[in-house]
Amino acid sequence: DDYVSSGMIVGLGTGSTAYYAVERLGEKLKSGELKDIVAIPTSVRTQKQAEELGIPLVTLGTHPKLDVAIDGADEVDPNCNLIKGGGGALFREKMVEIVSDKFIVIVDESKLTKDSGPGFPVPVEIVPWCHDHTIQKIAALPSCAGCKPQLRMGNSSNNKVDGDEIAVTDNGNYIVDLQFPQPILNGPEMANELTNVVGVVEHGLFCEMATAVIIAGSDGISVKVPK
Residues taking part in catalysis: 93
Residue 107 φ/ψ, nearest 5 degrees: -140, 165
Q: In 10 A of CB 212, how many CB atoms?
A: 17
| Measured distance CA(141)–CA(148) in Å, rounded | 12
Which positions ≥6 away from 16 have C-beta within 8 Å?
72, 87
Number of neighbours of residue 93 by Cβ within 10 angstroms: 31
∠ Cα 225 100 25 (to 5°):
85
81, exposed or middle or buried, with CB in 10 Å at 0-12, 13-18, 19+?
A: buried
Pick from 42, 92, 104, 41: which is nearest to 67 by CA? 104
**What are 123's strand-pairing partners?**
177
